[in-house]
């Protein structure tokens, strides 16, 4: 059995091209990455594009919706302010042209006129009236201030009215040191000179004209002049006559809307309208975050939708690709394991055939030796006494004993070869295990390994496949022999497990298997004997035991040893 045992042992440990049947980890990772990237791209790109288009459309629509009421309010206020100013201009124009100078230049007349004007115009708002000659002197004045005799020659408004005939000033402090604006109407006299009827109106009156219906706290509607000076108080930009910090919008006859960054760094929507025949520009400012409240909510929802959808898609893609790759890997491994198993079985079968051939070839001459030696023994024993008879008999005995040893070896080999084919037969497990141990007895002898047997006396025979079981136990015993050191011990125990099962436990006092390896030892290609083992032995063993309707258990403690238990049904089904 010498050389043949070596051959068998090597077959269990040899590496029949373990790597070539399998796909590397890296290839699976690359494949998974490609699957994830491709699937995610196909799923995510349309989602992102659609969401982006929705984003832009919704933003534009909601912005237009937010700006429209501002625009409407600005336009209405512009009309109301223009009406306010034009009414007052018309009234003053009527007066200055209707009354002769002498009538006008009377303080009481002026006072009565103020009173009448304020009564006839719903919101009169006139503070005072004055009559100024073409040298800028205030000839007559009626009002709460002491302004008679004042000279306005140096003031811009006087020159403007002289030039244009009618003039509405922007808000200023003037002599009275209170914000107001003036409307002045020029009347040309027949003698070529002229005089000007000038009325002042409190700046507050302008503010009162600004429509406040439909405004909320964040709306800021106010007037500026063309130099960017506030003409009415602003909630955001300060009091009257302070400077408006945003550049003055360019002239346009209609309402203009812009989105600007104000001094606070805040994005605001600004509607503006030039008030005709006046220096005023109506400004309506609303912070974008207030105006676009709905948009911001919708934007959060859109972004949330995108993020959740993308996360879901990615999750499903990752899960799906993981599953796919796992299945693929399982299939690959199963195929590789099957391939190796077949290769292994073929090898075993070849060895079996070889062993049988060798055994047969040896058995015939062995039979001749046996019979010839037997005949010699017969002749010497029954024939006449000859010289050295005893020595001759002893020699023949020795030959016959040797023949018996050879016979044992060849019969064992034949027994191994005979059971290559799958076949259910009645098996005495004890003799089967002893037969398998026969292959390892020399190793046990050389390494001084003790093998102990303990067999349940009530043990019954089982119906199973002898050849497959030989493989199983040869593999487990091989592992046990590999695990024990010189002088080690291997215990084999065969006991009944219930009425219909038999357990064979092979225990050793070897190195033991670490816990992290223990969970994986039945996995195909798992090996701790890198370069020596294929990692298939125990997986094949596991497969065979399962096929035979049994199960295999292992428990091990590092430093104490390992116990493999093979539980087999008494009668094999299927």
Partner 1 sequence: MDHLKVLFVDDEEELVSAVVERLDLRGIDAVGVTSGDEALHRLRGGSFDVVVIDVKMPGIGGIEVLRTINRRHPEVKVILMTGHGSAEDSEIGRRLGAVAYLQKPVDLEDLLMTIKQASNRGEGDHADE
| Cross-sheet strand order for the sheet of 551-557 | 450-455, 489-496, 501-508, 561-569, 551-557
Is residue 264 a contact point for partner 1 (CB under 8 A)? no
Q: Mark residues 168-207: x for contact with partner 1 by CB under 8 A, - for none.
A: ----------------------------------------
**Which of 411, 447, 501, 563 touches partner 1 by CB under 8 A?**
411
Q: Which single residue is written with the structure tokens 């709905």?
A: 294
Q: Cα(324)–Cα(195) distance, rounded to whole angstroms? A: 98
Q: Cα(290)–Cα(294) distance, rounded to whole angstroms? A: 9
Would you say 16 or 374 has its CB closer to partner 1? 374
Least distance (Å) between residue 405 CB and partner 1: 11
Is residue 208 a contact point for partner 1 (CB under 8 A)? no
Is residue 407 a contact point for partner 1 (CB under 8 A)? yes
Would you say 197 or 413 has its CB closer to partner 1? 413
HSE-up of 185 (CA within 13 Å, CB side)? 17
**Rounded-to-5 percentages of helix, strand, coil across the chain:** 50, 20, 30
Number of residues that bind partner 1 (CB under 8 A): 25
Least distance (Å) between residue 518 CB and partner 1: 38
Is residue 397 a contact point for partner 1 (CB under 8 A)? no
Stretch touching partner 1 by CB under 8 A, among 5-13, 133-141, 193-201, 362-370: 362-370
Is residue 371 a contact point for partner 1 (CB under 8 A)? yes
Residues 6+ apart with CB under 8 A from 66: 269, 286, 291, 292, 294, 295
Residues 412-451 contacting partner 1, CB under 8 A:
414, 418-419, 421, 423
Q: Residue 340: how many CB atoms within 10 A of its CB?
A: 23
Would you say 350 or 448 has its CB closer to partner 1? 350
Instruction: Name 243's bridge partners.
Output: 229
Would you say 146 or 421 has its CB closer to partner 1? 421
Would you say 359 or 433 has its CB closer to partner 1? 359
Is residue 360 a contact point for partner 1 (CB under 8 A)? yes
Q: Cα(249)–Cα(398) distance, rounded to whole angstroms? A: 128
Report CA dihedral (358, 359, 365, 369) to the nearest 10 degrees: 140
Is residue 372 a contact point for partner 1 (CB under 8 A)? yes
Is residue 135 a contact point for partner 1 (CB under 8 A)? no
Is residue 284 a contact point for partner 1 (CB under 8 A)? no
Least distance (Å) between residue 324 CB and partner 1: 46
Is residue 316 a contact point for partner 1 (CB under 8 A)? no
Would you say 200 or 370 has its CB closer to partner 1? 370
Would you say 34 or 404 has its CB closer to partner 1? 404
DSSP string, 44-87: HHHHHHHHHHHHHHHHHHHHHHHHHHHHHHHHHHHHHHHHHHHH
Q: DSSP 3-state assignment of 569?
A: strand
Q: Cα(372)–Cα(366) distance, rounded to whole angstroms? A: 10
Residues that bind partner 1 (CB under 8 A): 356, 359-361, 363-364, 366-372, 374-375, 378, 382, 403, 407, 411, 414, 418-419, 421, 423
């Amino acid at each position: 059995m010498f050389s043949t045992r070596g051959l068998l042992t090597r077959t269990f440990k040899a590496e029949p091209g373990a790597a070539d049947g399998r796909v590397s980890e890296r290839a699976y990772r690359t494949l998974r990455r490609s699957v994830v990237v491709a699937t995610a791209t196909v799923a995510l790109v349309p989602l992102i594009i659609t969401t982006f288009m929705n984003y832009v459309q919704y933003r534009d629509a909601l912005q237009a919706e937010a700006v429209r009421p501002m625009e409407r309010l600005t336009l209405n206020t512009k009309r109301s302010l223009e009406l306010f100013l034009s009414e007052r201009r018309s009234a003053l124009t009527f007066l200055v042209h209707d009354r002769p100078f002498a009538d006008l230049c009377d303080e009481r007349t002026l006072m009565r006129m103020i009173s009448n004007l304020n009564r006839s115009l719903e919101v009169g708002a006139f503070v005072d009236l004055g009559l100024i000659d073409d040298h800028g002197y205030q000839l007559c004045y009626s009002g709460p201030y002491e302004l008679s005799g004042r000279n306005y020659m140096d003031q811009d408004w006087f020159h403007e009215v002289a030039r244009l005939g009618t003039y509405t000033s922007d808000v200023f402090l003037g002599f009275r040191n209170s914000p107001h604006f003036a409307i002045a109407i020029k009347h040309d006299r027949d003698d070529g000179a002229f005089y000007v009827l000038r009325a002042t109106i409190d700046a507050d009156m302008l503010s009162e004209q600004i429509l406040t219906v439909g405004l909320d706290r964040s709306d800021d509607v106010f007037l500026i002049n063309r130099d960017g000076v506030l003409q009415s108080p602003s909630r955001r930009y300060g009091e009257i006559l302070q400077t408006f910090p945003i550049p003055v919008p360019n002239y346009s006859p209609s309402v203009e809307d812009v989105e600007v960054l104000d001094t606070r760094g805040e994005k605001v929507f600004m509607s503006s309208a030039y008030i005709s025949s006046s220096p005023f520009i109506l400004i309506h400012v609303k912070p974008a975050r207030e105006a676009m409240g709905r948009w911001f909510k919708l934007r959060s929802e859109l972004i949330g939708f995108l993020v959740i959808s993308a996360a879901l898609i990615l999750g499903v893609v990752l899960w799906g690709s993981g599953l796919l790759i796992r299945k693929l890997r399982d299939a690959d491994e199963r195929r590789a394991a099957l391939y190796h198993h077949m290769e292994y079985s073929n090898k075993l079968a070849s060895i079996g055939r070889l062993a049988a051939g060798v055994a047969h070839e040896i058995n015939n001459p062995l039979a001749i030796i046996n019979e010839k030696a037997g005949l010699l023994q017969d002749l010497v024993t029954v024939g006449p006494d000859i010289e050295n008879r005893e020595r001759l008999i002893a020699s023949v005995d020795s030959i016959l004993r040797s023949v018996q040893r050879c016979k044992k070896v060849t019969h064992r080999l034949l027994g191994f070869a005979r059971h290559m084919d799958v076949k259910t037969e009645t098996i005495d497990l004890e003799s089967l295990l002893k037969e398998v141990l026969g292959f390892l007895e020399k190793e046990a002898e050389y390494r001084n390994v003790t093998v102990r047997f303990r067999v349940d006396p009530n043990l019954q025979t089982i119906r199973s496949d002898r050849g497959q079981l030989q493989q199983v136990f040869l593999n487990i015993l091989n592992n046990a022999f590999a695990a024990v050191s010189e002088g080690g011990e291997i215990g084999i125990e065969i006991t009944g497990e219930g009425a219909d099962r038999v357990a064979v436990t092979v225990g050793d006092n070897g190195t033991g298997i670490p816990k992290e390896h223990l969970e994986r030892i039945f996995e195909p290609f798992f090996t701790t004997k890198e370069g020596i083992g294929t990692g298939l032995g125990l997986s094949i063993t596991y497969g065979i035991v399962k096929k035979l309707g049994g199960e295999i258990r292992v428990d091990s403690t590092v430093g104490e040893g390992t116990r493999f238990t093979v539980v087999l049904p008494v009668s094999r089904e299927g």
